[in-house]
Amino acid sequence: MTEKHTPPRDDIRKPAAFRLDDSKVRLTDDVELQPDAEEALIAVLEEDIERPKLPAATETRKRGIGFGKWIGIGLGGLVSLAFGLAVDALIRDLFARTDWLGWFGIGLAALAALGLLGLLLREFLGLLRIGKIDHLRDALEKAAEEDDAKAARHHLKELIGLYQDRPETARGRKLLGSHMREVIDGRDLVMLAERDLIAPLDQEARQIVMNSAKRVSLVTAVSPRALVDLLMVLFENMRVIRKLSALYGGRPGTLGFLRLTKHVVTHLALTGGMAAGDSLASEVLGHGLAARLSARLGEGVINGLLTARIGIAAIAVCRPAPFIASSGPKTTEFMGELIKITDKNNKDG
């Protein structure tokens, strides 16, 4: 204890007053202000402040080396070598035949290589973006939990950067920017970001999920074959995940999409138990009611709900901010609407 309040001599900063025309004084009201070249960065000063840290999140498990990965790398390498050899042989053959054909082949190969490179780059960037969103969500959640204004400010700046090229978020970004210029606590700042910047996106996300769920339940209700439903459900769910990710700023490529899907499935598995508690009863009830009208109808509602639930999981995975000010959408919200639409369809048909 005693060490804490008797810091080393040169650490004590004495009170001092300065005239404003002093060149040393720099106003920092505007967070966007860049420091001048001769001025020290503010952040450097603040690094060494010790903060009570919460134990690291338990879910970030350590990644060991998987043998499956070794097999994958080895086989993949061999296949690409074989492919390279085949291309090489092909081009040699082409040269052997006529020169221009050979050059043409090289051109085509280069084009393919370029395309591949571009594709890889895009996939890589997509993965990076998704990783960044994940990281942002965790960081904001932590900042809100610890009520750490500095961390919140830092990560909210990143969040604003994420939506920089999205004109529809201009109003939210501007609002949030002006909030950040004021003295507001960390937790409150994250909540404000959620309300002003993310809430309109949430609204749209809800609409996307709702539309997709409606489509699925409709198609299931009228489709002649089970296989059609199955394909439809699969297709719609993939579309929802991709759309939501794009909405929240993810723009995933194929790999990113696969990763997202994996996350969504994990999320579903993790929250499935909890969600069952709050909505299983109503689902079964709703199903029972609908099923009494017609078996197909009930199936439609069930499929629609499944889509809605996957959509909700996808929202939780794609959203760059944690749910703090609001709770995320619930399956029950989609329930009523779904029954209504299938019911109406039934009457029409």
Partner 1 sequence: MNPFHTLKEEARLTLANLTDTASDLAVPSLRLGVTGLARSGKTVFLTALVHNLVHGGRLPVFDAAASGRLARATLQPQPDDAVPRFDYESHVAALVNDRIWPQSTRQVSELRLTLEFESASYLARTFGRGKLHLDLIDYPGEWLLDLPLLSKSYAEFSAEALRLARATSRAKIAGEWLAMIAEVDPNAPETETDALKLSDAFKRYLAACREDTHALSMLPPGRFLMPGDLEGSPALTFAPLDIPADAAQARSGTLRAMMERRFEAYKTHVIRPFFRDHFARLDRQIVLVDVLHALNAGPHAISDLEAALGEVLKAFRPGRRSWLASILARRIDRILFAATKADHLHREDHDRLEAILERLVARGIEHARFKGAEVDVIAMAAVRATREAMVKQGRQELPAIVGTPLPGETAGGERYDGNTEIALFPGDLPEDPESVFQASESSSQLKPESISEARDKELQYLRFRPPKLDTTAEGLTLSLPHIRLDRALEFLFGDRLA
Give residues in contact with partner 1 (CB under 8 A): 1, 4-5, 12-20, 22, 24-29, 39-40, 42, 45-46, 149, 175, 179, 182-185, 188, 191-192, 195
Name the residue nearer to partner 1 (CB basis): 29 or 348. Answer: 29
Name the residue nearer to partner 1 (CB basis): 304 or 322. Answer: 322
Q: How far is the CB of 152 from partner 1 (least distance, A)?
A: 12
Q: Is the distance from CB of 152 to CB of 143 less than 8 angstroms?
A: yes
Q: How far is the CB of 53 from partner 1 (least distance, A)?
A: 15
Q: How far is the CB of 310 from partner 1 (least distance, A)?
A: 29
Q: How far is the CB of 33 from partner 1 (least distance, A)?
A: 10
Q: What are 201's two structure tokens?
A: 């996106």
Name the residue nearer to partner 1 (CB basis): 156 or 191. Answer: 191
- CA angle 30-35-40, nearest 5°? 130
Name the residue nearer to partner 1 (CB basis): 27 or 227. Answer: 27
Q: Is the distance from CB of 111 to CB of 119 less than 8 angstroms?
A: no
Rounded Cα gap, residues 318 and 313, in angstroms = 9
Rounded Cα gap, residues 286 and 279, in angstroms = 10
Q: How far is the CB of 277 from partner 1 (least distance, A)?
A: 24
Q: How far is the CB of 42 from partner 1 (least distance, A)?
A: 6
Name the residue nearer to partner 1 (CB basis): 168 or 182. Answer: 182
Rounded Cα gap, residues 210 and 207, in angstroms = 5
Conformation bin of residue 292: beta by default, left when phi > 0, alpha when psi is -120 to 50: alpha
Rounded Cα gap, residues 304 and 217, in angstroms = 5
Name the residue nearer to partner 1 (CB basis): 39 or 333. Answer: 39
Q: How far is the CB of 15 from partner 1 (least distance, A)?
A: 4
Report the candidate in 344, 335, 324 with the shortest Cα–Cα distance to residue 143.
324
Rounded Cα gap, residues 245 and 235, in angstroms = 16
Give the CA distances from residue 147 to residues 25, 135, 141, in Å, rounded to whole numbers and listed in that order. Answer: 29, 18, 10
Q: How far is the CB of 160 from partner 1 (least distance, A)?
A: 16
Name the residue nearer to partner 1 (CB basis): 22 or 348. Answer: 22
Q: Is the distance from CB of 91 to CB of 211 less than 8 angstroms?
A: no
The three-state secondary structure class of 255 is helix
Name the residue nearer to partner 1 (CB basis): 137 or 187. Answer: 187
Rounded Cα gap, residues 123 and 108, in angstroms = 22
Q: How far is the CB of 303 from partner 1 (least distance, A)?
A: 30
Q: What are 115's two structure tokens?
A: 């395309």
Q: Is the distance from CB of 299 to CB of 217 less than 8 angstroms?
A: no
Name the residue nearer to partner 1 (CB basis): 15 or 66. Answer: 15
Conformation bin of residue 251: beta by default, left when phi > 0, alpha when psi is -120 to 50: left
